[in-house]
Amino acid sequence: MKDIRQDQSSLCLGQLTLNPKSSRLKLLPAQIFAAMLTQVTTVAAADYCATDEHPEPPRYPDLSLTDEVVMSADTVDSDPADPQKFRLNGMISIRHRDGGIKAENATYDPVTDIARVDGVMSYEAAGLTVESADANVNIKDGTFRLGDSGYKVQNGSVISQGRAGSISRDAKGNLRLSRASYSSCPPGDNGWGLKAKNIKLDLDAGVGTARGVSLRFKDVPILYAPAFSFPISNRRKSGLLAPRFDQNDQTGLEYRQPFYWNIKPNLDATFVLRSMSDRGFQLQTETRYLNKIGSWTLNHEAMSSDDRFVPGESRRFSRFRHKGELGERWLTAIDVSSVSDKDYFEDLGDTLNIASITHLQRRADLTYQADNYQFRTRLLSYQTVDSLIEPDERPYQQLPQVTLQYQSPVKRLGIDTSIDAEVVYFERDNSVTGSRVDLTPRAEWTVNRPGWFTSLATSWRLTRYDLNNVDPADIAQFRALPQFSADAGLFFERLNPENNNLLTFEPRMFYLYTPRRNQSRIPIFDTGALDFNFSQLFRENRFSGADRVNDANQLSVAVSSRMLDPGGREKFSASVGQILYFDDRRVTLPDGVTDTNTSSDIIAEVQNEINQRWSGGVNLQWDPNNGDTQRSSAQLKYRNGTGKLINFGHRYLKEDGEFIHASFAWPLNAQWRLANSWNYSLDDSQDIETVLGLEYDSCCWAFRTAARRFITDDGDDTTTSFFFQLVLKGLTPVGQNVTDVLREAIGGYSSDND
């Protein structure tokens, strides 16, 4: 540095101001250490780890606009051995932007731009503290050499600390640490830590390389690697990922080792070698590709042989997914799956939902989305996983299905007009096949006023079928059905002056008329009966799909009541309703019978927030004609906001039976938490699924384990799985994600203590 601006006052105060053009100090910038020590973080430490043992470093005055280096000391003298050098003594401060050095003495050479600090030196910036016993800093190019150093880095809730025998930075910005340690545990906590002989951090490449690395848990070495590399930026990097261990009745003891390959910026792949003691080896792959059209993902699992399956027969599962845009309004979506045999998911899956899959969907969509209409073309088919399912019980393929939904942007005389259109061709082996054209124009007039609303709607459903594999007289089918509905409701409100809660009373009536048409000659392609619930009281068709349109001359009567607190939160709600029929319902699915009842089942729903911790709800479907319950459910929930939760549930279905559910997650103390879920069939006196979990969570590491037992699809056998996970906070989790297992089984479960 050739230009040093100083005056008499600055000499008295011991302050030097350096020319920004020749002294852009880059001494230990906080972002370098943050990248070095925290960007490899995959698990955040809990908030309670941020204690006074890790105080927030103070910030220096912001000098970012001037880019000047400012030095201050109690005294500034010339070095007797070399008059060109300055000796800074006393309380020394060297500041640059929002960080700086503090020391007791230093020597600065304006010719070489090197500042040498003997003794204890500290560097502090937002989120970063470094302490060293020796330092040489080139202020001009930002290179430095530090002796034995300790560091602390805070990045959000993650706090990291460690030591290094020496730290240096070259002119390219690369950092080298020798005899280094790293941990996100507080000082004095030996939960876990890394030790390495040497670490090199290439900031341009975003890669760190460590040699002679050992991972210690409770001061006990548990893993050693002669060398490994890791990312120090958000850029992806190829390499081994954390392994996973499981125990399962179907597969035995499992070990899964994933490897990540960053092929290109828009292309990567993950390979998982799955070793199963009872079955052999399986290779799982996931390939992801991203281009201007959208994202593409291919998953593939393969086994050349299975020790517990047909000898010598390979097994596989594949799934291809895509989601993207061809333009501003054109959307694309693909989801195609294939499996080798019907027992694949039961043998190699680990959840009840996966084990019970009977059909795999294969779908491709092309959608145009405009402001007031949507056009979609879909190809839809299925793979029937179980070959024993009869052909006439398998779903139809839709090759293709074209739909149009249009909503007029203009209201004429206050009337909304719309049209739904569909053209679809149904295909299935050894079955009736053919095309269906369905067109539904609709007009609706609605009035909303304070305290009441009314709506009148009319539509005309026009449907044509051209069929194959039927009698010649049934090849062409045409159905034209008008439909009329009237909906009206009132809103009554009353304010409780004691607590300012708002109580409402909301009666509603819905009339529907659809004339009967004989539809028995129309085949069933994609139509089924909808479940009867409260919203069904106000639907215009009790069937899904277009193959059946109900005949209706009916009036739905319902009433609802709600209680809202001053903030608008719903504390209580209750609804009850029923349909009154004026004509018999003769339109049915095949083998159905005419419904001659003059009223429907009564539907009732109640939800209640008992207090801030307890809430519950009841749903009931009761048949007044036979005097019995068709289905019911009841739930009771407890939440206290500190990780404590309880769920109780009862469910009854006349066709399937009676079931109960109980689950909880309960902290035993600040570190231990117990979790359990239980589903039980009262009719069969049988456990359907049981999950038990135990979690230990400290400020820098956690251990979670869970066991799951569930019945298989045929109900004659059970499968038991064990899951284990060790989480080194600030580094990586090892094992199965136990939190996902417990979250799936226990409503409201979270791994966070809060």
Q: What is the pLDDT of residues 680-689, one digit of tens each?
A: 999 989 999 9
Pairing of strands 732-735, 718-728: antiparallel
Containing 559, the helix (H) or strand (E) segment is strand 552-564
Q: How far apart are CA 152 and CA 131, in angstroms?
A: 9
The amino acid occupying position 693 is G
CB 463 within 8 A of CB 546: yes
- Please give the average per-residue pLDDT across 425-448, as a whole number: 96
Pairing of strands 252-264, 149-155: unpaired
Tokens 């050693």 belong to 224
pLDDT at 693: 94
Considering only CA atoms, which of 238, 240, 233 is closest in space to residue 202? 233
Q: What is the largest CA-CA distance in the chain?
A: 117
Q: How far apart are CA 37 and CA 180, in angstroms?
A: 11
Q: How far apart are CA 107 and CA 116, in angstroms?
A: 5
Residues with Cβ < 8 Å from 464, sequence gap 6 or more? 436, 437, 476, 477, 478, 479
Reading the block at residue 706, the tokens are 């869970």
| Residue 450 in this model has a pLDDT that exceeds 60 | yes
Lowest average pLDDT, out of 17-31, 221-235, 426-440, 514-528, goes to 17-31
Displacement of CA 431 from its chain's centroid (Å):
41
Lowest average pLDDT, out of 80-94, 324-338, 353-367, 633-647, goes to 80-94
Q: How far apart are CA 400 and CA 378, in angstroms?
A: 6
Q: How far apart are CA 143 and CA 162, in angstroms?
A: 21
pLDDT tens, position by position, 527-565: 999 999 999 999 999 999 999 999 999 999 999 999 999
Reading the block at residue 320, the tokens are 């291809």
Considering only CA atoms, which of 203, 185, 202 is closest in space to residue 194? 185
| Residue 45 in this model has a pLDDT that exceeds 50 | no
**Distance between terminal CA atoms of the chain?**
55
Residues with Cβ < 8 Å from 728, sequence gap 6 or more? 43, 184, 191, 192, 215, 217, 700, 701, 734
| Residue 42 in this model has a pLDDT that exceeds 70 | no
Global pTM value: 0.77
Whole-number Cα distances in Å, 317 to 281, 286, 309, 354: 14, 12, 15, 13
* Residues 252/253/256/257 CA torsion (nearest 10 deg): -140
DSSP letter, residue 643: S
State phi, psi for 591 to the nearest 5 degrees. 70, 5
Report angle CA 426, 431, 434 to the nearest 5 degrees.
30
- Binning pLDDT at 50, 70 and 90, where does residue 249 land? confident
Most confident of 75-84, 131-140, 422-431: 422-431
Displacement of CA 152 from its chain's centroid (Å):
32
pLDDT tens, position by position, 323-337: 999 988 999 999 999
pLDDT at 101: 77
pLDDT at 1: 33
Long-range contact pairs involving 643-652 (C-beta distance under 8 Å, separation at least 24): 643/667, 643/673, 643/750, 643/752, 643/753, 643/754, 645/746, 645/748, 645/749, 647/746, 647/747, 647/748
Name which residue leads in pLDDT, 167 or 695. 695
Residues with Cβ < 8 Å from 580, sequence gap 6 or more? 554, 555, 556, 557, 598, 599, 600
pLDDT at 56: 47
CB 618 within 8 A of CB 606: yes
CB 538 within 8 A of CB 600: no
CB 36 within 8 A of CB 175: yes
- Please give the average per-residue pLDDT across 586-596, as a whole number: 93
Name which residue leads in pLDDT, 83 or 695. 695
Looking at the chain, how many residues does it have? Answer: 754
| Residue 40 in this model has a pLDDT that exceeds 50 | no
Domains, the chain, in order of start with CATH, read 4-237 (2.60.450.10)
Q: Which residues on adjacent β-strands are paired with residue 286?
A: 270, 299
pLDDT at 31: 36
Mean of per-residue pLDDT scores for the chain:
84
Q: Is 387 exposed, middle or buried (0-12, 13-18, 19+ CB in 10 A)?
A: exposed
pLDDT at 595: 93
Pairing of strands 552-564, 452-468: unpaired
Reading the block at residue 23, the tokens are 């002294």
CB count in 10 Å sphere of residue 669: 6
| Residue 391 in this model has a pLDDT that exceeds 60 | yes
Q: How far apart are CA 329 and CA 402, in angstroms?
A: 17
Q: Give 654-700 as a DSSP string.
A: TTTEEEEEEEEEEESSSSEEEEEEEEEETTTTEEEEEEEEEEEE-SS
CB 404 within 8 A of CB 381: no
pLDDT at 82: 75
CB count in 10 Å sphere of residue 282: 22
Displacement of CA 282 from its chain's centroid (Å):
27
Reading the block at residue 299, the tokens are 């998953």
| Residue 47 in this model has a pLDDT that exceeds 70 | no
pLDDT at 127: 63
| Residue 97 in this model has a pLDDT that exceeds 90 | no
Q: How far apart are CA 300 and CA 315, in angstroms?
A: 11
